[in-house]
C-alpha cells in the first residue's frame, strides 16, 4: 500500500519510504520531518467569599464565584455541566447563578491550535434559613428598657447605633440617647449562610433642662444674651418694667432694679421644667456734649472735647477721619462726613456715648490740559481749574512766555516755550477758596516729545493661529514692533505685520515709530491679545476587525475635557454628531464602515480646534463559507453509531460538532 498511519511520533521524527518497481528496482523518496506540538497544560481555580470557608466552592445562594484558568492561551471555552457558557480569549469567567452539583470546566486552545481540558471544579449551593420578623415595642425612653423577641431561635442580637440604644443577648433594648437605632437579629446556619431581620427603635429624650447661662447684669437700654442648651423652651420675665426678654433669650434693660428671668421646657410627654436667673439692671452715666471745630481738610486736624472726664474717643470710619482715643484730636483722611464718638463707662460697666458729625473737605485735585507729548522748541498753553486762589506754577525744560504767558498766583493758565533740554514738565497747585484746602501738585508733559501710535487687529485668537494682521498709522518712519507669546512672520519695519501666536495666555503686541518731523512716542503702544489654548490631544482608541454582519468595532478617545466637543471622521467625512467632553474617556460607539477614523476636538467657548492623536482602522472580515452537514441516520442498539461529515471546509477555520446545545 502507498498509505501508512502511525500515532507514536516524537518531535522531529524523520519519515522516509522505500519503494520497489516491477523490475525490483528500489529507491527512497524524500524524507518528511514530523513536528509534534505539545498539548496545553494548566489549572482552573475559583475564588469566592461565601459560606463557612472562602474559595472552597461551597457557597450561599446568589454568591458570586470567579473562575480563573492559567493565562497565556489563545481561546478559553468555559463550560458548566458540559455546556459552553463563555468562549473567547478571556481566561476569567464570573457568575452568581449556581445550582448544587454544577461542574465547571474549561477547554483551552494554545497558539498551535492544540486543545486540552483543564481540571473540573464542582459547586455546592446552600440555601438561607427563613427568619421570622422581630416583635416588640418600637419606642423606648433614654435609660429605660423594652424586650424584643424573634420566634426563630439560635440568633444573635445587635444594635447598629449603640450610642443611641444597646441590646443584650436576651433581646433587652436600653435607650442611651435620643434618636433612632436599627436593631438586628442574625441567624447563621451550619453552612455559614446568614439571614438578618431588623427593626427600627426610636429613643425619646427626657425633659431635662440645663441651667440658664449668661451675664447676671445689664445696663438700661443695653442687652445681654442668655442661653440654655435645652432647645424648645420659652423665655419669660418677672417684671417687664425693669427688663424684657425675647424668644431668643435676649434681655433688654428698661429701668434700674432687679428682675427674675425664666426658661420653660415642655417635652413630647407634656412635662415642663422651669429654670430661672436673677438679673440686675444698672442705670447709665450722664455725659456732657462734644464741643470743638467740626469742619476740616483732608490731612488737617481739629481738637474735640467734653467736660465729662474719663471717656474714650472713636471714629465711625477710619477711612474718612481718625481720632486720638485719649486727646480727641481728629485727623482728616478722605472727603466725607464721619461720626466721632465719646464713650464714658462707669463702675458698673454701663456706658453712655455722645457724638458729633465732622465734615472732612476734599483737597482740590488740580488738572492740566495742553499739548502732550511735544516736540522741541514748540510752544504750548496749559490750563487748570478757574476760580481758585494762590496758584503755584513750576516749569522744567522750558520758559514761560513773557507778559502774556500767565503762570502767576492769580493765573489759571501758563504758556511755555519748550526751549531747554529735557526732561519736560509743568506743575500746578492752588487753594480752594471755599474750604481753604490746598491740593496736591499736578503734572503734565512727563518726559520727552512723541507721537501716539494706535493698533488694530484681532484681540482673541487660538494657539498656533497664523496670518493675524496688526496695523498702525501709515506714513511714518522707523516702525518698531515687539511681541510676547508669538512670532512676527511678515512686515517687520512696516505699518502692518503678520503674526503667528505660539503660546496661550494673556499676550501682547506693541509698536512705536517716528513722525516725519522726528518726534517719537514716549513709550510704545501695547495691544493686549488673548491667546486661547487648543484642546488637549488625547489618543484615538479602539477600531480593529469584526465579522461581516456583526455590530462593528468600538471607537473612543482616551480622555476628554469639559466644554469641548469631539467629532469623529471616517476619512474626510463626519460620522454622527459631536460628543461632548466629560473630563474622562469617551466613546463614539461601534462603527460598521470600513476606513481610517480620526477625531477633531473643538472648544465650544473659544471655537479653537485640535486634531486628536493617532487614528484607528475598521476592517470587515468575511464569514466562513457555508457547507452541508452530511451523514447521520439510524443504527441498531449496541452498534457503533453513524458517521457525520461536512461537505467541505476552509483552511484556518475550526468546526465544532453540536448535539442539540451540547
Check which CATH number belongs to the domain holding 171 and give it.
2.60.40.1080
What is the Cα Rg of the chain in Å? 49
Mean pLDDT score of the chain = 92
Q: Is the peptide bond before 373 cis (omega within 30 degrees of 0)?
A: yes
Asked if 304 and 291 touch (Cβ cutoff 8 Å), the reply is yes
Q: Does residue 639 belong to any structural domain of this protein?
A: no
Using left for φ > 0, alpha for ψ between -120 and 50, and beta otherwise, residue 156 falls in: beta
Q: Does residue 451 belong to any structural domain of this protein?
A: no
Tally of structural domains, the chain: 7
Range list of β-strands (E), 16-117: 18-20, 26-28, 32-34, 44-47, 58-60, 65-69, 75-80, 83-88, 92-95, 102-109, 115-117
State residue 372's pLDDT score.
76
What percent of the chain has pLDDT above 90? Answer: 74
Do 528 and 548 reside in the same domain of the chain? no
Do 305 and 415 reside in the same domain of the chain? no
Query: Residue 513: which pLDDT band, with cuts at 50, 70 and 90?
Result: confident
User: Using one digit for the tens of pLDDT, what is the confidence trace for 250-296?
Assistant: 999 999 999 999 999 888 766 677 899 999 999 999 999 999 999 99
Mean pLDDT of 192-218: 91
Q: Which helix (H) or strand (E) holds 569?
A: strand 564-570
Asked if 581 and 604 touch (Cβ cutoff 8 Å), the reply is no
Q: Choose one of 204, 238, 261: the last residue of a domain.
A: 204
pLDDT for residue 609 is more than 90? yes
State residue 449's pLDDT score.
47
User: Using one digit for the tens of pLDDT, what is the confidence trace for 442-472?
Assistant: 777 645 545 578 999 999 999 999 999 999 9
Query: Residue 518: which pLDDT band, with cuts at 50, 70 and 90?
Result: low
Q: Choose one of 96, 127, 158: the last residue of a domain.
A: 127
Do 616 and 588 reside in the same domain of the chain? yes
Do 4 and 115 reside in the same domain of the chain? yes
pLDDT for residue 52 is more than 50? yes
**What pTM was estimated for this model as a whole?**
0.34
Do 56 and 123 reside in the same domain of the chain? yes
State residue 206's pLDDT score.
79
For residue 583, the 8-state DSSP code is S
Query: Strand pairing partners for 24?
Result: none
Mean pLDDT of 630-654: 90
What percent of the chain has pLDDT above 70? Answer: 96
Asked if 526 and 454 touch (Cβ cutoff 8 Å), the reply is no
Q: Is the peptide bond before 423 cis (omega within 30 degrees of 0)?
A: yes
Do 108 and 9 reside in the same domain of the chain? yes
Mean pLDDT of 164-170: 95
Q: Which helix (H) or strand (E) holds 122?
A: strand 121-126
Q: How many CB atoms lie within 10 A of CB 134?
A: 22
Stretch among 8-22, 185-199, 527-541, 567-581 having the lowest mean pLDDT: 8-22
Do 91 and 6 reside in the same domain of the chain? yes
State residue 507's pLDDT score.
96
Q: Choose one of 65, 99, 127: the last residue of a domain.
A: 127
Q: Residue holding cell 524524507?
A: 31
pLDDT for residue 89 is more than 60? yes
Do 99 and 18 reside in the same domain of the chain? yes
State residue 526's pLDDT score.
94
Do 435 and 546 reside in the same domain of the chain? no
Helix, strand counts (H, E) of the chain? 0, 58
Residue 417, domain extent: 378-446
pLDDT for residue 481 is more than 60? yes
State residue 275's pLDDT score.
93
End-to-end CA distance of the chain: 39
Mean pLDDT of 531-546: 96
State residue 445's pLDDT score.
67
Longest dimension (CA), the chain: 156
Mean pLDDT of 359-381: 84
Give the span between the Cα atoms of 8 and 261, in whole angstroms: 110
Do 47 and 163 reside in the same domain of the chain? no
State residue 422's pLDDT score.
67
Query: Residue 354: which pLDDT band, with cuts at 50, 70 and 90?
Result: very high
Count Cβ neighbours within 10 Å for each residue of 381-398 and write b for 16 or more, e otherwise: ebbbbeebeebbbebebb
CA nearest neighbour of 290 among 344, 335, 218, 220: 344
User: Using one digit for the tens of pLDDT, what is the confidence trace for 398-441?
Assistant: 899 988 889 999 999 999 988 877 678 899 999 999 998 988 78
pLDDT for residue 333 is more than 80? yes
Cα–Cα distance list, 607 to 509, 575, 602 (Å):
22, 20, 6
> What cell was used for 205?
429624650
Question: What single string gives the DSSP state of each residue in 205-250?
Answer: PP---PPPBS-SEEEBT-EEE-B-SSTT-EEEES-TTTEEE-TT-E
Give the span between the Cα atoms of 463 and 529, in whole angstroms: 11
Do 108 and 200 reside in the same domain of the chain? no
Amino acid at each position: 500500500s502507498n498509505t501508512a498511519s502511525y500515532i507514536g511520533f516524537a518531535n522531529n521524527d524523520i519519515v522516509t519510504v522505500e519503494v520497489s518497481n516491477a523490475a525490483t528496482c528500489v529507491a527512497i523518496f524524500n524524507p518528511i520531518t514530523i513536528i509534534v506540538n505539545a498539548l496545553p497544560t494548566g489549572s482552573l481555580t475559583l475564588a469566592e467569599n461565601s459560606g463557612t470557608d472562602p474559595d472552597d466552592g461551597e457557597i450561599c445562594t446568589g454568591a458570586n464565584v470567579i473562575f480563573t484558568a492559567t493565562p497565556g492561551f489563545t481561546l478559553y471555552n468555559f463550560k458548566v455541566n458540559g455546556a459552553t457558557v463563555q468562549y473567547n480569549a478571556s481566561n476569567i469567567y464570573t457568575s452568581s447563578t449556581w445550582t448544587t452539583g454544577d461542574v465547571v470546566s474549561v477547554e483551552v486552545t494554545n497558539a498551535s491550535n492544540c486543545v486540552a481540558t483543564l481540571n473540573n471544579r464542582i459547586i455546592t449551593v446552600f440555601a438561607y434559613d427563613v427568619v421570622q420578623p422581630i416583635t416588640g415595642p418600637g419606642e423606648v425612653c433614654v435609660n429605660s428598657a423594652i424586650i424584643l423577641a424573634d420566634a426563630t431561635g439560635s440568633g444573635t442580637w445587635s444594635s447598629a447605633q449603640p450610642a443611641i440604644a444597646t441590646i443584650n443577648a436576651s433581646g433587652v433594648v436600653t435607650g442611651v440617647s435620643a434618636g433612632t437605632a436599627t436593631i438586628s437579629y442574625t441567624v447563621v446556619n451550619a453552612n455559614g449562610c446568614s439571614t438578618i431581620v431588623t427593626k427600627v427603635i426610636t429613643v425619646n429624650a427626657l425633659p431635662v433642662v440645663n441651667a440658664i447661662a449668661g451675664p447676671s447684669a445689664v445696663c438700661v437700654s443695653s442687652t445681654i444674651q442668655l442661653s440654655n442648651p435645652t432647645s424648645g423652651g420659652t423665655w419669660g420675665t418677672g417684671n417687664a418694667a425693669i427688663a424684657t426678654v425675647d424668644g431668643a433669650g435676649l434681655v433688654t434693660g428698661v429701668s434700674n432694679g432687679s428682675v427674675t428671668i425664666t426658661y420653660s421646657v415642655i417635652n413630647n410627654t407634656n412635662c415642663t421644667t422651669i429654670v430661672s436667673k436673677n438679673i440686675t439692671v444698672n442705670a447709665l452715666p450722664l455725659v456732657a456734649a462734644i464741643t470743638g471745630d467740626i469742619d476740616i481738610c483732608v490731612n488737617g486736624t481739629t481738637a474735640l472735647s467734653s467736660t465729662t472726664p474719663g471717656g474714650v474717643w472713636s471714629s465711625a470710619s477710619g477711612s474718612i477721619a481718625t481720632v486720638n482715643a485719649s486727646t480727641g484730636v481728629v485727623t482728616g483722611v478722605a472727603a466725607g462726613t464721619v461720626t466721632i464718638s465719646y464713650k464714658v463707662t462707669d463702675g458698673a460697666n454701663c456706658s453712655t456715648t455722645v457724638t458729633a458729625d465732622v465734615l472732612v473737605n476734599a483737597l482740590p485735585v488740580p488738572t492740566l490740559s495742553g499739548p502732550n507729548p511735544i516736540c522741541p522748541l514748540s510752544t504750548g498753553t496749559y490750563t487748570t481749574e478757574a476760580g481758585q486762589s494762590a496758584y503755584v506754577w513750576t516749569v522744567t525744560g522750558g520758559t514761560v512766555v513773557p507778559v502774556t504767558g500767565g503762570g502767576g498766583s492769580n493765573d489759571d493758565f501758563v504758556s511755555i516755550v519748550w526751549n531747554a533740554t529735557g526732561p519736560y514738565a509743568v506743575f500746578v497747585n492752588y487753594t480752594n477758596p471755599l474750604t481753604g484746602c490746598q491740593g496736591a501738585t499736578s503734572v503734565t508733559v512727563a518726559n520727552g516729545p512723541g507721537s501716539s501710535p494706535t493698533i488694530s487687529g484681532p484681540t482673541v485668537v487660538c494657539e498656533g493661529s497664523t496670518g493675524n494682521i496688526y496695523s498702525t498709522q501709515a506714513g511714518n518712519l522707523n516702525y518698531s514692533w515687539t511681541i510676547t507669546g508669538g512670532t512676527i512672520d511678515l512686515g517687520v519695519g512696516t505699518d502692518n505685520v503678520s503674526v503667528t501666536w505660539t503660546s496661550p495666555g494673556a499676550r501682547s503686541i506693541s509698536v512705536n515709530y517716528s513722525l516725519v518731523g522726528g518726534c517719537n512716542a514716549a513709550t510704545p503702544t501695547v495691544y493686549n491679545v488673548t491667546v486661547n489654548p487648543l484642546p488637549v490631544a488625547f489618543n484615538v482608541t479602539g477600531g480593529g476587525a469584526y465579522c461581516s454582519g456583526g455590530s462593528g468595532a468600538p471607537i473612543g478617545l482616551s480622555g476628554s475635557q469639559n466644554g469641548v466637543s469631539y467629532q469623529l471622521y471616517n476619512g474626510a467625512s463626519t460620522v454622527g454628531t459631536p460628543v461632548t467632553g466629560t473630563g474622562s474617556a469617551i466613546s463614539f460607539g461601534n462603527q460598521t464602515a470600513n476606513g481610517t477614523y480620526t477625531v477633531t476636538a473643538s472648544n465650544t467657548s473659544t471655537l479653537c480646534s485640535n486634531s486628536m492623536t493617532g487614528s484607528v482602522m475598521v476592517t470587515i472580515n468575511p464569514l466562513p463559507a457555508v457547507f452541508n452537514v452530511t451523514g447521520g441516520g439510524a443504527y441498531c442498539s449496541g452498534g457503533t453509531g453513524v458517521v457525520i461529515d461536512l461537505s467541505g471546509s476552509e483552511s484556518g477555520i475550526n468546526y465544532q460538532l453540536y448535539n442539540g446545545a451540547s
